[in-house]
Amino acid sequence: AQSVTQPDIHITVSEGASLELRCNYSYGATPYLFWYVQSPGQGLQLLLKYFSGDTLVQGIKGFEAEFKRSQSSFNLRKPSVHWSDAAEYFCAVGGGATNKLIFGTGTLLAVQP
């Protein structure tokens, strides 16, 4: 079955600290992978995506993610977190003929001053 797992429901980091949000997927074909961020009451903003090629993907706002096929993972990282990064982060996998996206349950990031 196709699925996305984000093991961490809630993470708190100090401003300036590094961040890694975990994402594991189960997908039958070559996956397209996405990370989105959502502020309260808002829609989704795409941070970065992986379709093919270089497995280290750079995104907006200083985020990056690395696709590791052997681990079925696509973890999101940022070297230094800013207070404005506090939000909900969703990993998603998609592709195939239907282009449907399967979302993880999300990780809520809190940033301490």
Partner 1 sequence: GAVVSQHPSRVICKSGTSVKIECRSLDFQATTMFWYRQFPKKSLMLMATSNEGSKATYEQGVEKDKFLINHASLTLSTLTVTSAHPEDSSFYICSALPGAYNEQFFGPGTRLTVL
Applying CB under 8 A, the residues found at the interface with partner 1 are 32, 34, 36, 41-46, 49, 51, 90, 94-95, 98-106, 108
Q: Tell me the sheet residues that pair with 45.
A: 37
Which one, 15 or 102, has the nearer CB to partner 1? 102
- Min CB(45)–partner 1 separation in Å: 8
- C-alpha–C-alpha distance, residues 65 and 21, integer Å: 9
The tokens describing 15, both together, are 């401003």
Instruction: Count Cβ atoms within 10 A of the Cβ of residue 64 and give its class: 0-12 exposed, 13-18 middle, 19 or more buried.
Output: middle
Which one, 41 or 113, has the nearer CB to partner 1? 41
Amino acid making up residue 50: Y
Which one, 27 or 90, has the nearer CB to partner 1? 90
- Min CB(16)–partner 1 separation in Å: 27
The tokens describing 13, both together, are 């980091």
- Min CB(105)–partner 1 separation in Å: 5
- Min CB(103)–partner 1 separation in Å: 5
Which one, 107 or 111, has the nearer CB to partner 1? 107
- C-alpha–C-alpha distance, residues 14 and 56, integer Å: 25
Do residues 50 and 32 make contact, with C-beta atoms less than 8 angstroms apart?
Answer: yes
